[in-house]
Copies of this chain bind each other. A is one copy, B any other.
């Protein structure tokens, strides 16, 4: 039997701890390092932080000093689940790469980093190749439902006139950071001000999804524009994190548009809110390809954001290990798929 695949998890927040749990539930992985800055976690054994039973795969000590684990030969893969932005995760990616680890990150901008950080992307590609490793950003969105799946569905299209993609999802399971990013709990006017000055960030991902679509089709989209609208509630809505009175903001509807030549080619509509069921809003993912043939795909309820992002990050690990070195996107690698058996059977360790 081959050795277990050794993993370092950088970040044990909602996503990072979900990823750690999923990894530990699969055959063939071992988590050998865990990094987090939260003093309530540092110094504890990983299994304590995750609240699971101890075994040989989960008993590393959580550290706040990356140098403890970012060492040559320490692990095969580093998962980075700390932040959304390329510039913020770049130093961590560099550290992991230079320690010879493949990298998978949840950072939304990293799903297509060239969209905003061209030079940094070139640098990451260079670092990856110098260290003979691969780097991938992924997640459910961006990274899967509003880009990869859209591209793939057009594979059966003779011609495409335009594309509409809608993702109506529930944010109730997310933590405080997401509530703030989406402006949840604000009054309408506060949201409008925050949307303007970007303190209400909304969804990070449309520019990355458009970038991936441009590359897939070999075209240049233009007049790319985005809007953020408050979703106001008619009834009180509350989660464990936030309580919203009627009339106030329970979510952010993000809209994105891109033209091809003179005409509108892609419309993305992404209303995210807490407890949509309280106003009978049905969640779902919808992809409409208008062309020959007309294609209407739906996934109802929506692919759940939290679980699915955790899952795709873990599922991509063997494909990232098998990849040739470099900065990669979901377009470059084989299609994602679940890890059903022992992950070691999926690894063709050629590198």
Contacts and interface: CB of A to CB of B under 8 A. Distances in A.
Closest 3 CB pairs of A and B: A155-B336, A154-B338, A156-B308
Nearest to A158: B311
A280 to B, nearest CB: 19
A151 B157 CA distance: 20
A288 to B, nearest CB: 11
Contact of A340 (B149, B156, B219, B311): B219
Interface stretch (A36-44, A120-128, A299-307): A299-307
Interface string A313-351: 011100000000000000110111110111001100000
B303 A217 contact: no
Interface stretch (A100-108, A129-137, A227-235, A290-298): A290-298
A216 interface: yes
A260 interface: yes
A152 B337 contact: yes
Contact of A152 (B308, B336, B342, B346): B336
Interface in A140-165: 140, 144-145, 148-149, 151-152, 154-160
A216 to B, nearest CB: 5
A55 interface: no
Residue picked from A144, A151, A311, A335, most chain B C-beta under 10 Å:
A335
B148 A335 contact: yes
- Copy total for this chain: 2
Contact of A155 (B260, B301, B311, B332): B311
B22 A337 contact: no
A244 interface: no
Contacts of A148: 152, 335
Interface in A170-228: 216-219
A8 interface: no
Chain A binding surface, main DSSP class: mixed
A299 B295 contact: yes
Nearest to A304: B293
Nearest to A319: B155
A260 B338 CA distance: 14
A50 to B, nearest CB: 15
A157 B311 CA distance: 6
A159 B295 CA distance: 28
A217 B159 contact: no
A20 interface: no
24 contacts: A25-B159, A144-B155, A149-B152, A152-B152, A152-B335, A152-B336, A152-B337, A154-B338, A155-B311, A155-B312, A155-B335, A155-B337, A157-B315, A157-B338, A158-B307, A158-B311, A218-B341, A260-B340, A295-B299, A296-B301, A297-B299, A298-B298, A298-B300, A332-B334
